[in-house]
Amino acid sequence: MKVIILGAGSHGLSLAYHLLKEGVDVTLVEKGEVNHGSSGRNAGRFRYHFNSKQNIEYAKEAIPYLLSICQELPLNPFCSRTGYLWILDEEEIERMKLLDSLWRSEGVGGEFIDCSQFSFLKEGKCYYAPQDGSFHHDYLSLGLYIEIAKMGGKLVRGEALSFLTSGGKVVGVKTNNGEIEGDVIAVTLGAWTGEFMSRNGISLPIKPEKREIFITEGVKFRIKPLVIGNGFYFSQTLKGELIGGADYAKEASGMDVSLIDAIDFISFIRRTVRNLDGVRLLRGWSGYYEITPDHSHIMGFDPSWPEGLFVDAGYSGHGVMFSAYSGKVMSDVILGRRNKFLDVFSPSRFQMRRLLDENMVI
């Protein structure tokens, strides 16, 4: 079996890693640099806490797997349970009570506390989930790539234009640099997966949604959890920089950042965190979420597609945290093994109107 994986971001790399461990011939096709897209442009956090049972159950498998693979890779991704902390207004308290009931039933309940229990915050109502945490996305992806190279995985530079078929089966990929033969094609192009599939006559509801991240100068380290509230989120790096952004989408164009959004973010930090009235913004960058109608990922295949065509994309803001486990799941699927999540996150669910009830996008 020869597998061609389109995209060398976190999901493409994880899939390649797991297939190579099974002795499969793997070629990655990447038009840019490894991990250069949104996989290398996120805040590096993981969580169990969603508002759909299906995503919670997926996280309960994916997060322990992420933490275990952190111990296997040659680069240390610094996986750590640092928690998530929601700042709540009165309306959000009632909503969070309903979510807390769901989370407790799934064994991942948190606690309502006064925000001032965290010395960097002022008084108010908060919800703390200690199970969630942080990791370094670059070390995760590049650690996978080091192992891929050791196992003989191939990386081809070029942009995938179309898949090639014969007799109802995929037989290769056409790139801007020529054709590559293969028995299986796995599309892991993130926010651009829908566009690629559309060019090849397949409708898949994945759209790019631009997001921005900003980072401040370094200050004394005292903020462990990811803090979420009032339309923003932030945490702190080990170097002392505050990193975060606005919890809303931007018009999808380019990779620039907005000066207005930068000012809004730093103003929120100064209002929210004690003794940071004069903290300065250092830099910012942007990337793209891969949004589906139900804010949940798409993995596997559809019976109407050419045989040998698979997709793993559409994670709607929680892709990198799930990438290690999703690579394992997709490897099993490609090798003919069943997985309990295959029907839940199948691309067929949109035509069958079996959408998930998920809208907790951070």
191: DSSP letter: G
Q: Count CB neighbours of 177 within 10 A.
A: 13
pLDDT at 254: 80
CA distance 359 to 362: 9
On the 0-12 / 13-18 / 19+ scale of CB atoms within 10 A, 352 is: exposed
What is the pLDDT confidence band of residue 355, given thresholds at 50, 70 and 90? very high
What is the pLDDT confidence band of residue 38, given thresholds at 50, 70 and 90? confident
* Residue with the two structure tokens 């700042």: 87
What is the pLDDT confidence band of residue 255, given thresholds at 50, 70 and 90? confident
pLDDT at 301: 97
8 Å CB contact between 320 and 14:
no
pLDDT at 177: 94
- The residue-averaged pLDDT of 190-201 equals 96
CA distance 242 to 273: 10
- The residue-averaged pLDDT of 207-220 equals 95
What is the residue-wise DSSP string for 306-358? Answer: PBTEEEEE--TT-HHHHHHHHHHHHHHHHTT---TTTTTT-GGGTTTT-----
8 Å CB contact between 32 and 38:
no
Residue range 241-252, pLDDT digits in tens: 999 998 877 766
Give the tokens for residue 116. 């001032």
Residues 6 or more apart whose Cβ sits within 8 Å of residue 153: 16, 17, 20, 26, 27, 28
CA distance 194 to 287: 16
Which helix (H) or strand (E) is 155 found in, with range? strand 154-157
User: In this model, does residue 36 exceed pLDDT 90?
Assistant: no
pLDDT at 256: 86
pLDDT at 130: 97
116: DSSP letter: G
pLDDT at 253: 73
User: In this model, does residue 339 exceed pLDDT 70?
Assistant: yes
Q: Count CB neighbours of 76 within 10 A.
A: 13
200: DSSP letter: T
In single-letter form, the type of residue at position 139 comes to Y
Per domain, the residue ranges of the chain are: 2-72+137-205+293-349, 84-133+208-291
- For the chain, the first-to-last Cα distance in angstroms comes to 38
- The residue-averaged pLDDT of 134-156 equals 96
User: In this model, does residue 269 exceed pLDDT 70?
Assistant: yes
Torsion of CA 292, 298, 27, 340, to 10 degrees: 160
52: DSSP letter: S
CA distance 356 to 344: 8
Mean residue pLDDT across the chain: 95
In single-letter form, the type of residue at position 335 comes to L
CA distance 293 to 295: 6
Give, in words, the CATH class of 2-72+137-205+293-349.
alpha beta
Give the tokens for residue 134. 């942080």
pLDDT at 189: 97
Residue range 300-317, pLDDT digits in tens: 999 999 999 999 999 999
Residues 6 or more apart whose Cβ sits within 8 Å of residue 246: 211, 212, 231, 232, 261, 264, 265
Residue range 161-176, pLDDT digits in tens: 999 999 999 999 999 9
User: In this model, does residue 297 exceed pLDDT 90?
Assistant: yes
pLDDT at 122: 84
Domain 84-133+208-291 belongs in CATH node 3.30.9.10: yes
pLDDT at 252: 64
Residues 6 or more apart whose Cβ sits within 8 Å of residue 68: none
**Helical segments of the chain, H only:** 10-21, 53-69, 90-105, 137-150, 193-199, 259-272, 319-334
Closest Cα partner for 162 from 32, 44, 291, 29? 29
Residue range 44-101, pLDDT digits in tens: 999 999 999 999 999 999 999 999 999 999 999 999 999 999 999 988 999 999 999 9
Residue that wins the pLDDT comparison between 36 and 189: 189
